[in-house]
Chain A
Amino acid sequence: MNTFRRSKALLAAFVLLGFLLAAQVQSPRQMTVPKEASRERVAGTIARLEEEQRSLKETIGRLREELAVQQKLGLARSESLREINSELEKQRLAAGLLPVKGQGVTVTLDDSSKAVGAGGDPASYLVHDYELRDVINLLWASGAEAVAVNDERLAGGTSIYCVGSTILVNNTRLSPPYEIRAIGDAVTLEDRLRNPASLAKLKSRARLYGIQFRVTSSKEVTLPAYSSGFSLRYSSPAKDGG
């Protein structure tokens, strides 16, 4: 009985020991190994997310820098563009490339309607290129800001000359009557034109041969834009010391 009970206790202790040994051997394998693997997976995900975060921050930094540069550049460019544009408009106005209006005068010159007298020179009854030049020169000298003859605006390089009895302005054939329009102080322009000391030859030819010479001033005269080109094939800006 005693021996039997002791054997039973011994058996139970062995069973429990076996059970616990098995559990101890199993537990790291069953619990630790799978947990370790998922922890590595999670750590990988965190590293990836952190890498993404770093690159996003870098991108933001780069974009902000680029935006600042672009904004500065855009501002500078649009500012200088505005400047260039306004300067261009000024130069275009000065060059006669814009149609203009304002107070001024109109000088009308026309060939004589009188019959050529016996032994007379037919040329005496016609308006000549130099007379147009004379009137235009007087208008400029009197402060005209813009001048045109018929539909031809006078600009840099404009010449007025004749081929036979035809007058050409800007290489364009004009026919009488010649209407010279000028914008400027209308009173001054008219006074200078009417002054007996001005255009004396033309005025005497008007009396002698009936060349028509009329001056009218008006509150608004309109002039077309210069429509030919400016050829600059031989000129270049002279730099310092040039």
Chain B
Amino acid sequence: MIEIASVSKFYNQKRALDGVDLTIQSGRIFGLIGPNGAGKTTLIRILNQIIEPSAGHVRIGGVPLNNGHVKTFGYLPEERGLYREMKVLDHLVFLARIRGLSKSDALKASNFWLDKFEINPWSAKRIDSLSKGMAQKVQFIGTVLHDPNVIILDEPLSGFDPLNIQLILQEIKAMKKAGKTVIFSTHNMNSVDEICDEVGLVNQGKLVAHDHVSALREKHKTGAFKVRYKGNQIAFANALWTGFELIQTEELGEHWFQSVIKSRHGEVFSDVYQTLSTAVELQLLEEQLPGMQDIFLELVTNHSHE
């Protein structure tokens, strides 16, 4: 478990982080989100001991963060860097060795991951001869090849095509399955929806929200339902009457519609079903929970206006 307690960071009187309190459970995928300049990278650098906090502290399993912990981290920074003139395999072996692996283990791990990502034929090529996507894969491998317990990924999906995004997301899920803790910072909210267990939203140096993804979605739901039905449109509208607001309707065919309605008084799924099932033939009824994209926009906008 990673405990971040009252962590603040100032750069020449400019506040980058302001009293952040956060607990990240082991074996989970934690999404660290926030707009640009919110302080995510500063927090990540503090976790990696690249910089020290101006105040507060970080504990791992109850022990103050130290070099021993950081050795078990894998870190993929947002601003990627590779020794472009090095060969792929040499680069990976070098990274593995500065993370404490012996030469033979480094070589073994590098080859394992190169095979896994199907880029072993490029192992003897110079990095500056690789495509962007290929170089991104090399960077990802460099982050995980020493089998870290905590993997900190800052925008790991940028630069990847949809196929490779899925590949990376699958790897992240596999790491969770293997008991690793993943801290995943991204602007790609779909991926947060897809893989994160918990989310922390940082804005202007403060932690604005921290919860399970499902809890956040529940908390920010708007009472909207999607309904697909066959029948009379007027009967449908009459059934809604005072309890619901009709947001939009789309005609799918003859007497066949799909609408979005919103409850006025906090009605739940069963209330909606009871109200509409007698008026029309229901084909689909689902509560529309907000995506992380919507929650992000709402939280950031609200916090910025406070």
Q: Do A and B come from one complex?
A: no
**Residues of chain A whose beta carbon lies under 8 Å from any beta carbon of chain B:** none
**Residues of chain B whose beta carbon lies under 8 Å from any beta carbon of chain A:** none
